[in-house]
Amino acid sequence: MSIWIDFKELRSKLSFEQVLQHYKVELKTKGSQHHGFCPLPNHEGKKNSPSFSASLEKKIFQCFGCGAKGNILDFAVLMEGGKPGDGDKLRNVAVALRQRFGLEKNTKSSPSKEAMTALPAKKAGTVLVNAKLDFELKTLDFDHPYLRSRGFTDETIHHFGLGYCSKGFLQGRVAVPLHDQLGRLVGYAGRIVDDSIIDEDNPRYKFPGQREHKGITYEFRKSEFLYGGYRIKEPVDDLVVVEGFPSVWWFHQLTIPNCVGLMGWSCSEAQAKLIIGHTKPNGRVWLLSDGDDAGIRCAESFSRLVARDRFIRWIKLHQGKQPTDYQEAQLRNCLNQ
């Protein structure tokens, strides 16, 4: 990743209370210290002893059972299954926390203004953006005919965890698992299977809405990550960028690697930074936006944000076409120009 992180500054801006809430850690207060059972996944020691202590003011913690201790970022790394001293893990966790709590460079230390204004003034409080889900959809139908009618194989369907949802918020839609840059499940999108009923109240895609639980507002922002971006572990020579989910699935099925999706026609600044970070300084970014007016707008916004840092090439598709309308030889020929 080329995003520069000032770890000292980030530690000062992060709220330990919000980080604990994000990981669903509940502690009891005694003076300036907070105590409870150790939440660390690699905790070794008595499970029924309140050996964990944290100072929210100093942003440090210690477990007298397993011996783990450190600052707020060390805690987050441990909660994500990492180890102290793992620089790559620390960097990834820091990027995710900075984005989740609206602490982008040159912003104030409190949650972003955009996030706070999404709440009624009298209920303003903690806002968690793209928080990790504590559940997975278990009753999806992986054999529904819709995806196979689009030409996708069983391997592709299972690789992306796609399945038809028959109840709940995504009823009548194919559920698409959404993972952030660390690979954590942060939500599901839903693609309607009957295009004839698409209208203003029943859009082609549904995304998670805002919700509140125990005084915390959970907010989903697709503009903060790239679909499939977490699968790219290090900068690559060639990165393919598309608009929609099916195009990412299609490139995978055709064994054309390193394809990510914007989840729409617009490219945000956060997504542009991730695209730049996923591409080597001398690498190339290939944009295959859809062949319509929205695709042209996508290319324009994309170029403004990415072209100053990386070489890009816009592959202009025929009017009304999407990448899924092209066969492997045609797409490979485009990418070899």
Judge residue 287's burial from the number of C-beta atoms within 10 Å of its C-beta, 0-12 exposed, 13-18 middle, 19 or more buried.
buried
Per-residue confidence (pLDDT) for residue 337, from 0 to 100: 62
**Pairing of the two strands 173-179 and 52-55:** unpaired
Q: Where are the alpha helices (DSSP H) in the chain?
A: 7-13, 16-22, 72-79, 87-100, 113-117, 145-149, 154-159, 245-253, 269-278, 293-306, 328-335
User: What does each of the 337 residues of the chain score in pLDDT, given as a tens digit?
Assistant: 345 678 888 888 999 988 998 888 888 887 778 999 999 988 876 666 788 999 998 999 999 888 889 999 999 999 888 887 777 788 888 888 888 887 865 433 333 333 333 333 334 458 889 999 988 998 899 999 999 999 999 999 999 999 999 998 899 999 999 999 989 999 999 999 999 998 878 899 999 988 887 778 888 999 999 999 999 989 999 999 999 999 999 999 999 999 999 999 999 999 999 999 999 999 999 999 999 999 999 999 899 999 999 999 999 999 999 999 999 999 999 898 6
Instruction: Give the DSSP H/E element, type plus range, for residue 179.
Output: strand 173-179
The C-alpha angle 144, 148, 150, rounded to 5 degrees, equals 120
Say if CB 97 and CB 19 are below 8 A apart.
yes
Judge residue 303's burial from the number of C-beta atoms within 10 Å of its C-beta, 0-12 exposed, 13-18 middle, 19 or more buried.
middle
75 three-state secondary structure: helix
pTM confidence score: 0.65
164 bridge partner residues: 141, 174
Judge residue 323's burial from the number of C-beta atoms within 10 Å of its C-beta, 0-12 exposed, 13-18 middle, 19 or more buried.
buried
Largest CA distance in the chain: 68
Per-residue confidence (pLDDT) for residue 117, from 0 to 100: 34
Could you give the strand order of the β-sheet that contains 279-288, starting from the edge strand earlier in sequence? 259-261, 236-242, 279-288, 311-314
Instruction: Output the CA–CA distances (angstroms, integers) from residue 253 to 62, 144, 154, 249, 304, in the order listed.
Output: 47, 18, 10, 6, 30
Exposed e or buried b for every residue in 106-131, given b needs 16+ CB within 10 A? eeeeebbeebeeebeeeeeebbbbbb
Per-residue confidence (pLDDT) for residue 104, from 0 to 100: 64
* Alpha-carbon span 284 to 239, nearest angstrom: 6
